[in-house]
Structure 1
Amino acid sequence: MKRVAITDVALAAGVSRSTVSNYLNRPEIVSAGARDRIARAISELGFVPSEAARNISSGDSNTIGYVAFEFTNPFSGVIADAIERRAAETGRTVMIGNSAGSAERQLEYLQLFERKRVAGIIVATVDELEPQLAAMRDRGTASVITGRISGNPQQASVSAADAEGGYLAAQHLLDLGRRRLAFVGGPFSVQQVSERFDGASRAVRAVPDASLTVLRADERTMNAGFAAGVEMATRGDQLPDGVFAVNDLVGLGVVRGLTSFGVDVPRDVAVIGFDGDEIAAVSAIPLSTISTPGEAIGEAAFDMLLQEIDGTAESSATRHRVIPPQLVVRASTAGDAADQGQSAPAERPRSA
């Protein structure tokens, strides 16, 4: 992946390197004809102006970029910590941006990192990014996406098995005899959310007398979970007896909302989350969860990015990795009888 340098633009436009530099920094002193030729050359070559002058010609950098999904979720911090640790071990640094679940901010950070001429980018995707990342790859910036598996064999990706984890969460509730299940999360435009819900739906469809309703919690925060818990406890219709929260923060909020109105967790309502955050294990009612090791995701993403940068990825098959989930049973579903550290290996989802 050869980066287009300022000298390439100068050669294509038939001007000096300093004229291209003036066009980028002081266009008013460049003649109209030269400006037109330089603009055409930049467009045709796909040149990206760099804010790091020392990298304009060489394209060398020991810095990588990481665009996190949302730092309100501790899971993002675990991934970021693993990436930074692996970077330090290999003599690199990390620039971090937080998209906060915004597709616009995500794209802004990608453009910023490319202008900074980072060696490569890890991005926790909010939405479909393959076309933009493919164009960046053609211009010399390698990338790895996290949060879902890419449909493009050339786009490296690492993800938790979200659909499998959703299946495990719902199946755990069903195995406890719960039949009126609720899914709390959103929005479904986020692939991780939709896949977790789809996995839970497959488990529920296999049980004739089971049902699954949805309570939206698009912010995926503890406050959003609390509001959903209060709504369930006070709306007057039949209370669900099992809740699958899209992440642990939402799950903790649901528990707090339910118990604040006298609902017993887990006797009346069993609650399970997703991610495996440490805070879930030490809450007043420890939260059962589907654990997806963020450290393993961060380390795998970093190592895959180095292979993309160095061009050592052996095949398209090595560009995609799925981290299996694990069911962790705690008091929010099993009460005092639960072994607080009990874990069960993840199983492949059965056909619904």
Structure 2
Amino acid sequence: MKRVAITDVAEAAGVSRSTVSNYLNRPEILSPATSKRIARAIDELGFVPSDAARKISSGDTRTIGYVAFEFTNPFSGVIADAIERRAAENGRTVMIGNSAGSTSRQLEYLELFERKRVSGLIIATLDEIEPRLAEMRRRGTPSVITGRSATTPDQASVSAADSAGGYLAARHLLDIGRRRLAFVGGPFSVKQVSERFDGASRAVQEVSGASLTVLRADDRSMNAGFAAGVEMASRRDQLPDGVFAVNDMVGLGVVRGLTSFGIDVPRDVAVIGFDGDEIAAVSAIPLSTISTPGEAIGETAYDLLLSELGEPVRTFDSRQQIVDPELIVRASTAGDAADAHTLERPSSSGPLDTERPYS
């Protein structure tokens, strides 16, 4: 059955297509007689006005766009849920796109959302995209970056203190006596990854005799973590005694890979992740983590976007908001073996071993 179009209504009413459009969007400018003919045609044909068409002409002021980083990581879902919940409270809706770690897909979603004329954007960005967002802002679409701090004062952002979180993770491993640390993650072109590694490096530099190696896991998934754990277990002569995984999914995979080959976690290798995903708390060996409050990030991002739209629901002292991470200790780094290690006091001149035998 053919869907009735606006041109069918125009033909039946004996008016132009633009006159029907005016009837739907600006009826006050039409004469009563013209309005009556169009109303009769709509009723007889069973025409249903296209809400999408009206939004294209006027801009969708009640919808925002959210481009997620990677939904394979539950942390993205926590942020998205917080954004949607705040939007619902405010009478808005959210269109969601998943870049899945692809720069090209990220740009495609930006173009799509701008064509849809959403009122604003929240984006978990992969790379330096601020010039593009500045162009969109000049054309009337403000935005908020999540996951990393903006580099320009005009760009709003909400981020976790990734470098501080990386420092906390490595410092915890060092504090329980671990000295041969490995960082599992990548790629380092992703700012969040490089900052977490830099923070861990700072902690290692504080302890004499400590070292830090790198094992790449560029897709940051549980499968990548499992492969890394298997590789470490197969090279026992270079087995680290502490692992900092770039996120909890990688960390859970590392634990599974190590234990599959008889490596005891945490006795032989202590493992800590990053993000604070709920699944990390209920795994067979609950994973220690650096928790960043995804719910707070999502809510803050939404509220900050409303401020950019001139509809503030709370006051911000800066366009760049940073949330502090928190260490959560669980079984993957706790236990008798961890307690048996002795803690060496930090040394500001301690060497940093940045060789990457697993790379």
Structural mapping, 1:123-162, within 5 Å: 123-162=123-162
- Give the Å deviation of 1:150: 0.3
- Match of residue 239 from structure 2: 239
**Structure 1 residues 67 and 229, CA, compared in 2 at 3 Å: closer, same or farther?**
same
SS of the counterpart of 2:94? strand
- Give the Å deviation of 1:351: 11
Q: Per-residue displacement from partner, 1:171-196 (whole Å, max 9, x unpaired)?
A: 00000110000000000111100000
CA distance in 2, matches of 1:279, 1:246: 16
- Give the Å deviation of 1:221: 0.6
- Match of residue 341 from structure 2: none
Larger deviation: 231-240 or 127-136? 231-240
Structural mapping, 1:252-267, within 5 Å: 252-267=252-267
CA distance in 2, matches of 1:253, 1:63: 37
**Paired residues of 1:159 and 1:322 also in contact (CA < 8 A):** yes
- Give the Å deviation of 1:124: 0.0
- Give the Å deviation of 1:237: 2.3
- Give the Å deviation of 1:57: 5.0
2:181 matches 1:187: no
- Give the Å deviation of 1:318: 1.7
- Match of residue 268 from structure 1: 268
CA distance in 2, matches of 1:97, 1:63: 13
Would you identify which runs of 4 or more consecutive aligned residues in structure 1 move more than 6 Å? 313-316
- Give the Å deviation of 1:157: 0.1
SS of the counterpart of 1:184? strand
- Match of residue 10 from structure 1: none
SS of the counterpart of 2:229? helix
- Give the Å deviation of 1:208: 2.0
Unaligned runs of 5+ residues in structure 2 are: 1-17, 19-50, 339-347, 351-359
Structural mapping, 1:279-294, within 5 Å: 279-294=279-294
What code does the residue aligned with 2:263 have? V
Give 1 or 2 for the bigger CA radius of gyration.
2
SS of the counterpart of 1:318? coil
2:96 matches 1:101: no
- RMSD of the TM alignment (CA)? 2.3
- Give the Å deviation of 1:53: 3.6
What code does the residue aligned with 1:239 have? L
Q: Per-residue displacement from partner, 1:25-47 (whole Å, max 9, x unpaired)?
A: xxxxxxxxxxxxxxxxxxxxxxx
- Match of residue 21 from structure 1: none
**Paired residues of 2:183 and 2:245 also in contact (CA < 8 A):** yes
CA distance in 2, matches of 1:131, 1:102: 18
- Give the Å deviation of 1:310: 1.4
**Structure 1 residues 61 and 351, CA, compared in 2 at 3 Å: closer, same or farther?**
farther
Count matched residues.
Answer: 294
**Paired residues of 1:153 and 1:317 also in contact (CA < 8 A):** no
- Give the Å deviation of 1:302: 0.2
CA distance in 1, matches of 2:238, 2:265: 16
- Give the Å deviation of 1:200: 0.2
CA distance in 2, matches of 1:117, 1:334: 51
**Structure 1 residues 313 and 77, CA, compared in 2 at 3 Å: closer, same or farther?**
closer
- Match of residue 120 from structure 1: 120
Q: Report the identity percentage.
A: 79
- Give the Å deviation of 1:312: 5.3
CA distance in 2, matches of 1:351, 1:281: 36
- Match of residue 201 from structure 1: 201
2:189 matches 1:228: no
**Paired residues of 1:202 and 1:351 also in contact (CA < 8 A):** no
Q: Per-residue displacement from partner, 1:191-243 (whole Å, max 9, x unpaired)?
A: 10000000000000111200000000001111100000000001242210000
CA distance in 2, matches of 1:109, 1:261: 42
CA distance in 2, matches of 1:320, 1:97: 23
CA distance in 2, matches of 1:265, 1:320: 39
**Structure 1 residues 61 and 212, CA, compared in 2 at 3 Å: closer, same or farther?**
same
**Paired residues of 2:67 and 2:99 also in contact (CA < 8 A):** yes
2:172 matches 1:172: yes
Q: Per-residue displacement from partner, 1:272-307 (whole Å, max 9, x unpaired)?
A: 000000000011110000000100000000000011
Q: TM-score, normalised by structure 2?
A: 0.78
Q: Per-residue displacement from partner, 1:11-64 (whole Å, max 9, x unpaired)?
A: xxxxxxx8xxxxxxxxxxxxxxxxxxxxxxxxxxxxxxxx95424554351000
Structural mapping, 1:254-333, within 5 Å: 254-310=254-310, 317-333=317-333
CA distance in 1, matches of 2:96, 2:115: 14
- Match of residue 14 from structure 2: none
Q: TM-score, normalised by structure 1?
A: 0.79
